[in-house]
Chain A
Amino acid sequence: MDIKERVIQLIIEHLELAPADVVPEAHFIDDLGISSMDLWELVLVMEDEFGLEVPDEDLEKIGTIQDAINFITAHAEEK
Protein backbone atom coordinates (compact mmCIF):
# COMPACT_ATOMS: atom_id res chain seq x y z
CA MET A 1 0.00 0.00 0.00
CA ASP A 2 1.29 3.47 -0.76
CA ILE A 3 1.02 6.38 1.61
CA LYS A 4 -2.20 7.66 0.11
CA GLU A 5 -3.96 4.33 0.55
CA ARG A 6 -2.62 3.89 4.05
CA VAL A 7 -3.82 7.35 5.09
CA ILE A 8 -7.27 6.75 3.66
CA GLN A 9 -7.50 3.33 5.27
CA LEU A 10 -6.46 4.78 8.62
CA ILE A 11 -9.07 7.53 8.41
CA ILE A 12 -11.83 5.07 7.52
CA GLU A 13 -10.93 2.78 10.38
CA HIS A 14 -10.14 5.37 12.97
CA LEU A 15 -13.04 7.72 12.38
CA GLU A 16 -15.43 4.91 11.39
CA LEU A 17 -16.46 6.62 8.16
CA ALA A 18 -18.05 5.20 5.02
CA PRO A 19 -15.23 4.48 2.54
CA ALA A 20 -17.16 6.29 -0.23
CA ASP A 21 -16.95 9.57 1.72
CA VAL A 22 -13.24 9.40 2.31
CA VAL A 23 -11.93 10.99 -0.88
CA PRO A 24 -8.82 13.19 -1.09
CA GLU A 25 -10.84 16.39 -1.69
CA ALA A 26 -12.93 15.91 1.44
CA HIS A 27 -12.42 18.52 4.14
CA PHE A 28 -12.19 16.92 7.57
CA ILE A 29 -14.35 19.40 9.39
CA ASP A 30 -16.57 20.87 6.65
CA ASP A 31 -17.28 17.70 4.64
CA LEU A 32 -16.70 14.83 7.03
CA GLY A 33 -18.13 16.70 9.99
CA ILE A 34 -15.50 15.55 12.42
CA SER A 35 -14.61 17.69 15.43
CA SER A 36 -11.29 19.43 15.84
CA MET A 37 -10.63 17.02 18.71
CA ASP A 38 -11.20 14.06 16.36
CA LEU A 39 -8.81 15.65 13.89
CA TRP A 40 -6.18 16.16 16.57
CA GLU A 41 -6.52 12.53 17.64
CA LEU A 42 -6.24 11.39 14.03
CA VAL A 43 -3.07 13.40 13.53
CA LEU A 44 -1.59 11.88 16.69
CA VAL A 45 -2.45 8.40 15.46
CA MET A 46 -0.92 9.15 12.06
CA GLU A 47 2.23 10.38 13.77
CA ASP A 48 2.59 6.97 15.39
CA GLU A 49 1.67 5.09 12.24
CA PHE A 50 4.18 6.90 10.04
CA GLY A 51 6.81 7.64 12.67
CA LEU A 52 6.82 11.38 12.21
CA GLU A 53 5.86 14.45 14.13
CA VAL A 54 3.47 17.16 13.07
CA PRO A 55 4.59 20.50 14.54
CA ASP A 56 1.83 22.67 16.03
CA GLU A 57 2.11 25.19 13.18
CA ASP A 58 1.44 22.49 10.59
CA LEU A 59 -1.58 21.08 12.38
CA GLU A 60 -3.58 24.12 11.25
CA LYS A 61 -2.61 23.52 7.63
CA ILE A 62 -4.31 20.15 7.49
CA GLY A 63 -7.80 20.86 6.17
CA THR A 64 -8.49 18.14 3.63
CA ILE A 65 -7.47 14.53 3.34
CA GLN A 66 -5.16 15.54 0.49
CA ASP A 67 -3.40 17.98 2.86
CA ALA A 68 -2.75 15.12 5.23
CA ILE A 69 -1.47 12.88 2.44
CA ASN A 70 0.84 15.63 1.19
CA PHE A 71 2.18 16.35 4.62
CA ILE A 72 2.89 12.73 5.38
CA THR A 73 4.42 12.07 1.97
CA ALA A 74 6.77 15.03 2.35
CA HIS A 75 7.87 14.10 5.84
CA ALA A 76 8.04 10.37 5.31
CA GLU A 77 10.48 11.05 2.46
CA GLU A 78 12.68 13.15 4.70
CA LYS A 79 13.47 10.09 6.73
Chain B
Amino acid sequence: MPTDDLDLSGQVALVTGGSRGIGRAIALRLSQAGAYVAINYSADDQAAKRTLLDLERGGGQGELQKFPVENFAKVQDAIKEFSKRKGRLDILVNNAGISRDQVLARMKPEDWHRVLAVNLTGAFYCCRAAARVMVRRRYGRIIVISSIIGRIGRAGQANYAASKAGLEAMTRSLALELAGRQITVNAVAPGYIETEMTLALPPKVRQEILDHIPSGRAGTAEDVAGVVLFLASGLSAYLTGQTLHLNGGLYFG
Protein backbone atom coordinates (compact mmCIF):
# COMPACT_ATOMS: atom_id res chain seq x y z
CA MET B 1 0.00 0.00 0.00
CA PRO B 2 1.00 3.62 -0.44
CA THR B 3 3.62 4.89 1.93
CA ASP B 4 4.24 8.41 3.10
CA ASP B 5 7.43 8.85 1.14
CA LEU B 6 8.53 8.73 -2.47
CA ASP B 7 8.96 4.96 -2.50
CA LEU B 8 6.78 3.28 -5.13
CA SER B 9 7.91 -0.31 -4.55
CA GLY B 10 5.24 -2.83 -5.50
CA GLN B 11 3.19 -0.24 -7.40
CA VAL B 12 2.23 -0.42 -11.04
CA ALA B 13 2.31 2.58 -13.38
CA LEU B 14 1.39 3.38 -16.97
CA VAL B 15 3.00 6.32 -18.72
CA THR B 16 1.45 7.27 -22.05
CA GLY B 17 3.93 8.56 -24.58
CA GLY B 18 6.58 7.11 -22.29
CA SER B 19 9.08 6.23 -24.99
CA ARG B 20 10.60 9.63 -25.70
CA GLY B 21 11.10 13.09 -24.27
CA ILE B 22 9.33 13.98 -21.05
CA GLY B 23 7.42 10.69 -20.86
CA ARG B 24 10.64 8.74 -21.07
CA ALA B 25 12.13 10.69 -18.15
CA ILE B 26 8.94 10.11 -16.16
CA ALA B 27 8.99 6.36 -16.88
CA LEU B 28 12.62 6.10 -15.76
CA ARG B 29 12.00 8.20 -12.64
CA LEU B 30 8.98 6.16 -11.51
CA SER B 31 10.98 3.02 -12.16
CA GLN B 32 13.88 4.25 -10.03
CA ALA B 33 11.37 4.84 -7.25
CA GLY B 34 10.43 1.17 -7.44
CA ALA B 35 7.32 1.06 -9.63
CA TYR B 36 6.70 -1.47 -12.40
CA VAL B 37 6.26 0.78 -15.44
CA ALA B 38 4.36 0.19 -18.67
CA ILE B 39 5.72 2.45 -21.39
CA ASN B 40 3.06 3.37 -23.90
CA TYR B 41 3.77 4.76 -27.39
CA SER B 42 2.16 4.49 -30.81
CA ALA B 43 4.75 4.49 -33.59
CA ASP B 44 8.49 4.53 -32.90
CA ASP B 45 9.42 0.98 -31.80
CA GLN B 46 13.14 1.70 -31.68
CA ALA B 47 12.79 4.58 -29.23
CA ALA B 48 10.44 2.55 -27.05
CA LYS B 49 12.81 -0.43 -26.94
CA ARG B 50 15.70 1.85 -26.03
CA THR B 51 13.74 3.34 -23.16
CA LEU B 52 12.76 -0.07 -21.81
CA LEU B 53 16.36 -1.23 -22.07
CA ASP B 54 17.55 1.83 -20.14
CA LEU B 55 14.89 1.24 -17.53
CA GLU B 56 16.02 -2.36 -17.09
CA ARG B 57 19.69 -1.37 -17.02
CA GLY B 58 18.82 0.92 -14.14
CA GLY B 59 17.56 -2.13 -12.25
CA GLY B 60 13.88 -1.49 -12.94
CA GLN B 61 11.11 -3.62 -14.36
CA GLY B 62 8.57 -2.73 -16.99
CA GLU B 63 7.13 -3.46 -20.39
CA LEU B 64 6.08 -1.82 -23.63
CA GLN B 65 2.43 -1.07 -24.36
CA LYS B 66 1.94 -0.02 -27.96
CA PHE B 67 -1.43 1.56 -28.61
CA PRO B 68 -2.71 4.92 -29.88
CA VAL B 69 -4.35 6.70 -26.96
CA GLU B 70 -7.04 8.11 -29.25
CA ASN B 71 -8.45 4.62 -29.97
CA PHE B 72 -10.95 3.85 -27.19
CA ALA B 73 -11.27 0.11 -27.83
CA LYS B 74 -7.51 -0.37 -27.87
CA VAL B 75 -7.01 1.73 -24.74
CA GLN B 76 -9.67 -0.22 -22.90
CA ASP B 77 -8.37 -3.63 -23.96
CA ALA B 78 -4.77 -2.78 -23.18
CA ILE B 79 -5.44 -1.28 -19.76
CA LYS B 80 -7.81 -4.08 -18.83
CA GLU B 81 -5.38 -6.82 -19.81
CA PHE B 82 -2.43 -5.05 -18.21
CA SER B 83 -4.09 -4.31 -14.89
CA LYS B 84 -5.59 -7.80 -14.65
CA ARG B 85 -2.24 -9.40 -15.27
CA LYS B 86 -0.47 -7.15 -12.76
CA GLY B 87 -3.38 -7.24 -10.33
CA ARG B 88 -3.42 -3.46 -9.94
CA LEU B 89 -2.82 -0.07 -11.51
CA ASP B 90 -1.76 2.62 -9.09
CA ILE B 91 -0.42 5.38 -11.29
CA LEU B 92 -1.52 6.73 -14.67
CA VAL B 93 0.50 9.48 -16.30
CA ASN B 94 -1.24 11.02 -19.31
CA ASN B 95 1.73 12.42 -21.13
CA ALA B 96 1.21 11.45 -24.78
CA GLY B 97 0.88 14.64 -26.74
CA ILE B 98 1.46 16.08 -30.16
CA SER B 99 1.43 19.48 -31.78
CA ARG B 100 0.37 20.55 -35.27
CA ASP B 101 1.11 24.27 -35.28
CA GLN B 102 -0.57 26.52 -37.82
CA VAL B 103 -1.99 30.00 -37.70
CA LEU B 104 -5.73 30.19 -37.90
CA ALA B 105 -5.82 30.92 -41.62
CA ARG B 106 -3.87 27.76 -42.36
CA MET B 107 -5.01 25.39 -39.65
CA LYS B 108 -6.94 22.62 -41.33
CA PRO B 109 -9.83 20.94 -39.56
CA GLU B 110 -7.79 17.73 -39.44
CA ASP B 111 -4.95 19.55 -37.63
CA TRP B 112 -7.45 20.71 -35.07
CA HIS B 113 -9.13 17.33 -34.63
CA ARG B 114 -5.93 15.33 -34.54
CA VAL B 115 -4.41 17.35 -31.69
CA LEU B 116 -7.62 17.34 -29.69
CA ALA B 117 -8.03 13.59 -30.28
CA VAL B 118 -4.57 12.62 -29.05
CA ASN B 119 -3.99 15.20 -26.31
CA LEU B 120 -7.43 15.56 -24.76
CA THR B 121 -9.68 12.69 -25.83
CA GLY B 122 -6.83 10.20 -25.49
CA ALA B 123 -6.24 11.25 -21.89
CA PHE B 124 -9.95 10.94 -21.14
CA TYR B 125 -10.01 7.41 -22.55
CA CYS B 126 -7.03 6.38 -20.44
CA CYS B 127 -8.53 7.94 -17.30
CA ARG B 128 -11.79 6.13 -17.87
CA ALA B 129 -10.17 2.74 -18.31
CA ALA B 130 -7.75 3.24 -15.42
CA ALA B 131 -10.42 4.51 -13.04
CA ARG B 132 -12.20 1.15 -13.26
CA VAL B 133 -9.19 -0.43 -11.63
CA MET B 134 -8.48 2.40 -9.20
CA VAL B 135 -12.07 2.74 -7.96
CA ARG B 136 -12.14 -0.98 -7.15
CA ARG B 137 -9.01 -0.66 -5.07
CA ARG B 138 -9.88 2.76 -3.71
CA TYR B 139 -6.50 4.15 -4.49
CA GLY B 140 -4.95 5.89 -7.45
CA ARG B 141 -2.80 8.67 -8.78
CA ILE B 142 -3.69 10.25 -12.10
CA ILE B 143 -1.31 12.84 -13.50
CA VAL B 144 -1.91 14.85 -16.64
CA ILE B 145 0.83 16.66 -18.54
CA SER B 146 -0.58 19.99 -19.59
CA SER B 147 1.41 22.99 -20.81
CA ILE B 148 1.92 26.65 -20.02
CA ILE B 149 0.37 27.24 -23.45
CA GLY B 150 -2.98 26.07 -22.06
CA ARG B 151 -2.97 29.27 -19.96
CA ILE B 152 -1.02 31.92 -21.83
CA GLY B 153 -1.71 30.73 -25.39
CA ARG B 154 0.58 31.12 -28.34
CA ALA B 155 -0.01 32.22 -31.89
CA GLY B 156 -0.16 29.18 -34.13
CA GLN B 157 -1.17 26.81 -31.34
CA ALA B 158 -4.93 27.24 -31.04
CA ASN B 159 -5.49 23.48 -31.21
CA TYR B 160 -2.70 22.65 -28.77
CA ALA B 161 -3.70 25.40 -26.32
CA ALA B 162 -7.32 24.29 -26.37
CA SER B 163 -6.34 20.69 -25.74
CA LYS B 164 -4.22 21.65 -22.73
CA ALA B 165 -6.79 24.01 -21.21
CA GLY B 166 -9.32 21.22 -21.69
CA LEU B 167 -7.06 18.78 -19.87
CA GLU B 168 -6.81 21.09 -16.88
CA ALA B 169 -10.57 21.48 -16.74
CA MET B 170 -11.02 17.72 -17.00
CA THR B 171 -8.50 17.30 -14.20
CA ARG B 172 -10.62 19.39 -11.83
CA SER B 173 -13.86 17.56 -12.64
CA LEU B 174 -12.33 14.11 -12.33
CA ALA B 175 -10.64 15.15 -9.09
CA LEU B 176 -14.07 15.92 -7.64
CA GLU B 177 -15.58 12.65 -8.85
CA LEU B 178 -12.75 10.49 -7.57
CA ALA B 179 -11.69 12.26 -4.38
CA GLY B 180 -13.87 10.05 -2.20
CA ARG B 181 -11.99 7.02 -3.49
CA GLN B 182 -8.54 8.31 -2.48
CA ILE B 183 -7.76 8.83 -6.13
CA THR B 184 -6.06 12.13 -6.84
CA VAL B 185 -5.99 13.82 -10.23
CA ASN B 186 -3.52 16.61 -10.87
CA ALA B 187 -1.91 18.32 -13.81
CA VAL B 188 1.63 19.50 -14.37
CA ALA B 189 2.01 22.41 -16.77
CA PRO B 190 5.61 22.65 -17.97
CA GLY B 191 6.93 25.79 -19.56
CA TYR B 192 9.74 25.43 -22.01
CA ILE B 193 11.31 21.95 -21.81
CA GLU B 194 14.09 20.92 -24.15
CA THR B 195 12.85 17.82 -26.06
CA GLU B 196 12.39 16.78 -29.69
CA MET B 197 9.08 18.62 -29.65
CA THR B 198 10.68 21.95 -28.81
CA LEU B 199 13.90 21.41 -30.79
CA ALA B 200 11.60 21.46 -33.81
CA LEU B 201 10.90 25.17 -33.17
CA PRO B 202 12.87 27.71 -35.24
CA PRO B 203 16.12 28.73 -33.45
CA LYS B 204 15.02 32.35 -33.29
CA VAL B 205 11.80 31.45 -31.48
CA ARG B 206 13.71 29.19 -29.09
CA GLN B 207 16.20 31.95 -28.22
CA GLU B 208 13.37 34.41 -27.66
CA ILE B 209 11.71 32.03 -25.21
CA LEU B 210 14.97 31.36 -23.36
CA ASP B 211 15.61 35.09 -22.95
CA HIS B 212 12.40 35.40 -21.00
CA ILE B 213 12.89 32.57 -18.52
CA PRO B 214 13.83 33.98 -15.07
CA SER B 215 15.74 30.82 -14.16
CA GLY B 216 17.95 31.49 -17.14
CA ARG B 217 17.65 28.03 -18.60
CA ALA B 218 15.27 25.72 -20.37
CA GLY B 219 13.64 23.04 -18.26
CA THR B 220 14.66 19.42 -18.62
CA ALA B 221 12.51 16.35 -18.90
CA GLU B 222 13.98 15.35 -15.52
CA ASP B 223 12.65 18.56 -13.95
CA VAL B 224 9.15 17.45 -14.97
CA ALA B 225 9.74 13.86 -13.89
CA GLY B 226 10.63 14.93 -10.34
CA VAL B 227 7.34 16.76 -9.87
CA VAL B 228 5.43 13.84 -11.40
CA LEU B 229 7.11 11.48 -8.92
CA PHE B 230 5.89 13.64 -6.05
CA LEU B 231 2.34 13.60 -7.44
CA ALA B 232 2.53 9.84 -7.96
CA SER B 233 3.66 9.19 -4.41
CA GLY B 234 1.87 8.93 -1.09
CA LEU B 235 3.30 12.34 -0.12
CA SER B 236 0.75 14.20 -2.22
CA ALA B 237 -2.35 12.45 -0.86
CA TYR B 238 -4.24 15.66 -0.03
CA LEU B 239 -3.39 17.48 -3.26
CA THR B 240 -6.00 17.06 -5.96
CA GLY B 241 -7.51 18.93 -8.89
CA GLN B 242 -4.49 21.21 -9.11
CA THR B 243 -2.28 22.33 -11.92
CA LEU B 244 1.34 22.75 -10.88
CA HIS B 245 3.21 25.25 -13.04
CA LEU B 246 6.76 24.25 -13.73
CA ASN B 247 8.46 26.92 -15.79
CA GLY B 248 11.45 28.54 -14.11
CA GLY B 249 9.40 31.56 -13.10
CA LEU B 250 7.96 32.34 -16.52
CA TYR B 251 4.36 32.27 -15.34
CA PHE B 252 2.71 31.85 -11.94
CA GLY B 253 -0.76 30.50 -12.63
Interface, chain A (partner B; CB < 8 A): 37, 40-41, 44-45, 48
Summarize B's interface: helix, strand, loop or mixed: helix
Contact A44 B181 (CB under 8 A): no
A44 to B130, CA, bound (A): 12
Chain B, residue nearest A35 (CB): B180
In the complex, the answer to whether A41 meets B177 with C-beta atoms within 8 Å is no
14 sampled A-B residue pairs with Cβ under 8 A: A37-B135, A37-B177, A37-B178, A37-B180, A37-B181, A40-B135, A41-B135, A41-B136, A41-B181, A44-B132, A44-B135, A44-B136, A45-B136, A48-B136
CA distance A5 to B141 in the complex (A): 35
Contact with A along B116-138 (1 / 0, CB 8 A): 00000000000000001001100
A-side contacts of B135, CB under 8 Å: 37, 40-41, 44
Instruction: Write out the residue numbers on chain A whose beta carbons fall within 8 Å of the beta carbon of B132.
Output: 44
Chain B residues with CB below 8 A from A48, complex form: 136
Report how far A11 CA is from B178 CA in the complex, Å: 20
- Nearest CB on A from B82, distance (A): 16
Q: In the complex, which residues of chain B have a beta carbon less than 8 angstroms from the beta carbon of A44?
A: 132, 135-136
Max chain A C-beta neighbours (<10 A), residue from B135, B178, B181: B135
- B residues in contact with A45, CB < 8 Å: 136
Q: How far is the CB of B216 from chain A (nearest CB, A)?
A: 46
Which chain A residues lie closer than 8 Å to B136 at the CB level? 41, 44-45, 48
B180 contacts across to A, CB distance below 8 A? 37
A56 nearest CB across to chain B (Å):
9
List 11 additional A-B contacts (Cβ < 8 Å) besides A37-B135, A37-B180, A44-B136.
A37-B177, A37-B178, A37-B181, A40-B135, A41-B135, A41-B136, A41-B181, A44-B132, A44-B135, A45-B136, A48-B136
